[in-house]
Structure 1
Amino acid sequence: MYRFFIICMVSLLAVVGKDALADELVVVTHPQSSIGELSRQQASHIFLGRLRQLPSGERVTVVDVEPLRAVFYERLVGRNLAEINAYWARLQFSGRTQPPLRVASAQEAIEMVLDSRSAIAFVRADQLDPRARVVMRLGP
């Protein structure tokens, strides 16, 4: 009976751990990017267009993954997607900046990050490519 209990607990922990990984979002960059570890404030400045250049002087390329946008911005800045869209509409209308590039999948975002040192994107932790560098984690 004790052995059965231990097996059940280990199985449960394995499932819960996998689900937690699927819920965690990570911000990723090219492995040789000049972007280092980011604080929540720094990440929000980048993803909301307030910081447009990297320390190296390169223009940062922000990539949004369409299916994850709502969750990402809710976790990062506590705003829903309608508020984020309104924010970008105001900035675009004023001519100050353009919203991030949008891609349909995490795979596309990772490919863009791996192709450009100045690109930054977010994906679910379980979709992470080991060649990309994680600069921030956003838990559930």
Structure 2
Amino acid sequence: MNKHIKHALIAFGLSAVSLASQAQVAVIMGPSAAPITKDQLANVYLGRSFDLKPVDLPEASPLREQFYKKATDRDQSQIKATWSRIVFTGKGQAPIILQDAAAVKKAVISDPKAIGYIDKAAVDGSVKVVFSLD
């Protein structure tokens, strides 16, 4: 097989694996919630707006890292610094950290102001997708 074709196939294969490992992130709220914009979402998760109560997945969750990168264009260390500053100055409370998608769904169902994110594959009829980060 031609050396260039072989390298192209390897590169394509690695790209496909990378894309497969990227989950689709669904931003969810209770069933009666209205859709939101990316700016509104970023403002909630960056502590610029306190209209909604953000809930988070654990720091070790790959979905959390993907969510923040897509929703706020920031990485985990920048998010941590942002919330440390907000909490230190008394301007707000950091998002509540929940252990998994089931806990996030339970939180948004029980509080109409709660907003969270989960893998799109975990969405069911109990919650409403208010924004998608593909």
Q: TM-score, normalised by structure 1?
A: 0.75
SS of match in other structure, 1:104: coil
Give distance in 1, aligned partners of 2:75 and 2:46: 13
2:45 paired with 1:47 = yes
Counterpart among 124, 127, 134 of residue 129 in structure 2: 134
SS of match in other structure, 2:129: strand
Residues 1-140 of structure 1: matches in 2 within 5 Å?
A: 23-33=23-33, 36-53=34-51, 60-66=52-58, 67=61, 68-139=63-134
Structure 2 residue identity aligned to 1:105: D
Give distance in 1, aligned partners of 2:50 and 2:85: 17
Task: Give 5+ residue unaligned stretches, structure 2.
Answer: 1-15
Moved over 3 A (4+): none
Superposed CA deviations along residues 37-58 of structure 1, whole A, max 9, x for unmatched, are 11111110112221112xxxxx
Shift of 1:129: 2.3
Give distance in 2, aligned partners of 1:132 and 1:65: 17
Equivalenced residues, count: 114
Task: Give 5+ residue unaligned stretches, structure 1.
Answer: 1-15, 54-59
Task: Tell me the C-alpha RMSD between the 2 structures.
Answer: 1.9
Structure 2 residue identity aligned to 1:23: A
Percent sequence identity over aligned pairs: 27
SS of match in other structure, 1:121: strand
Contact 1:30 1:133 in 2 (8 A): yes
